[in-house]
Amino acid sequence: MITNFKKRCAKISRFTFEYHKYIENLDYEWKAVQQMVSPFSCEVSHEYGLKGESEVQINLPIQYTYLCTFVTAQGWTPISYCKVNNGRCHFSALGDSVAI
């Protein structure tokens, strides 16, 4: 089967020596957030032209959702999180190969 799908970056983060404060109060007990939040990294996907957006309807009583990519030999790895607002979560600055 031949497709036009091209594997590309879904999100881009940059590690820095600068300390970045988080505006949002996050629930650090939530395991997925712990993996993605570091005061020495920042999200730079928009600087590299990643403009994809996706919105998902959530019918569960949860605070956060997260977006994962599949990494061979590692399984599903979280790359972004989103706070659920009125039953919806919105992911932005995504690569064009992200499918939800």
Task: Give Dmax (Cα) for the chain.
Answer: 47
Query: For the whole prediction, is pTM greater than 0.85?
Result: no
Per-position b or e across 68-95, b if 16+ CB within 10 A of its CB? ebeeeeeeeeebbbbebeeeebebebbb
Parse the chain into domains and list their residue ranges: 13-94
pLDDT (tens digit, 9 = 90+) per residue, 30-89? Answer: 555 666 677 787 888 889 988 989 899 999 988 888 888 888 888 888 888 888 899 999
pLDDT at 23: 54
Please name which of 42, 93, 85 lies closest in space to residue 67, comparing C-alpha atoms.
93
The pLDDT of residue 10 is 85
